[in-house]
Amino acid sequence: MALVSREALRVAIDAAVTSLVAEAAPGWPIRHDHCFLRVAYDNACGAKWDTVVRPPAKRNLPVEALAEALRLLETMADAGTLRALNNCSLALRGHLRGK
């Protein structure tokens, strides 16, 4: 993977989230920008992201984690992928019961 600056990743993440919010379809488990970011950051970290770094994530996550978050955001337009990633994030946070 080519080296990408933190600022370039932040811009790309913002654009990906804006696109997802605009595309949000009925039946999607999440619709808001902060929810897409939660899902991406939690999955990129393998934990509730703010237990790994101090907020804000865009400034404090390692560049590699930001790149992974962007990669995940780019897959979320698929409803099945979004649902699976959201469930993983909820499980990491202890919010997924009986699933």
Average the pLDDT over each of 35-39, 74-78, 90-94, 95-99 and give the range with the smallest value: 95-99
Question: Is 97's pLDDT higher than 60?
Answer: yes
Sequence-distant (≥ 6) Cβ neighbours of residue 91 within 8 angstroms: none
What is the pTM for the complete model shown? 0.93
pLDDT in tens, 33-49: 999 999 999 999 999 99
Is residue 38 within 8 Å of 89, Cβ to Cβ?
yes
